Structure 1
């Protein structure tokens, strides 16, 4: 009995030592270069090379972060408050029948109703989708409302930027539906 209790306690400690978690409110599909892009994937903007970018998320170290996905190259670009990187494995946000995804103007960390999160960071902070016009593209970035209050965007070799005016991704119910957050 003592060994079982110790094992359960150890598992409990491991689970709560890394509080990062994926969003489970919305529908996500696994993606990489070998997968076909779902017809209902959410468009997020375009990059400086003219590629459309899609709303995605990645797991990086212990954080679940928003990403802009270029499906032609199979690359997901993402940002942290201090760095930017890319991964070849990601999830794509797909539209549900009862939900419209729209980009809404926002600023200075204002919490918009229906804000879409990718998941949480290792500090148990929600990471939201934002976008701004930067570097000859409309780029998706990371918004951490409780600590940064700015849209964090970096593209390849260009410098990390923090925008205090940006757009956020919001889920709105179609018709008479209600979304619960």
Structure 2
């Protein structure tokens, strides 16, 4: 009986120990306040203070999450369905000559062809970049297809969930074959 219980416990631990994974399909560069934002960084919107924000990603506990990076402060803001926070270490998305990044209107967790995933959660669910107009800015948020909502929070303002939003999509430049 002891061996069976240990085996069940081990299988349970393995099933829930799936690590999150970073996206390797797109070009990401490590960043912080010490690094200059590259010219080919993908613009994500602007915050309530008027600063441009760039598409980034952060590792938070066991999840890889989208972030809005403010170059002037070197801070990356991110959200989960329950938590909003900021980090000083992040990756920033860079455009290349073979890919155009565009924001496409979407709704209710619909999967847009070419949607940019920053990585996965600890439960191996892909996490996508979304954005919406809120709180005096156009802010990047977190889109989990299972949640069917774009989740955005800015500093002390309440957490907001949007069923209509824009999602970041990578489109190949004419003639490029993926």
TM-score (norm 2): 0.90
Which segments of 5 or more consecutive residues in structure 1 lack a partner in the other structure?
Answer: 1-12
- State yes or no: 1:157 paired with 2:149: no
Residue aligning to 2:118: 118
Q: Report how far residue 18 of structure 1 moved.
A: 3.6
* Alignment of structure 1 residues 4-153 onto 2, 5 Å: 17-145=17-145, 147-153=146-152
Number of paired residues? 166
Residue aligning to 1:169: 168
Q: Report how far residue 176 of structure 1 moved.
A: 1.7
Which segments of 5 or more consecutive residues in structure 2 lack a partner in the other structure?
Answer: 1-12
4+ long deviations beyond 4 Å: none
Counterpart-to-counterpart distance in 2, 1:71 and 1:59: 19
Q: Report how far residue 35 of structure 1 moved.
A: 0.6
CA RMSD, aligned part only?
1.4
**Larger displacement relative to structure 2 (16-25 or 42-51):** 16-25
Per-residue CA shift, 1:99-132, capped at 9, x if unaligned?
0000000001110000000100011000000000
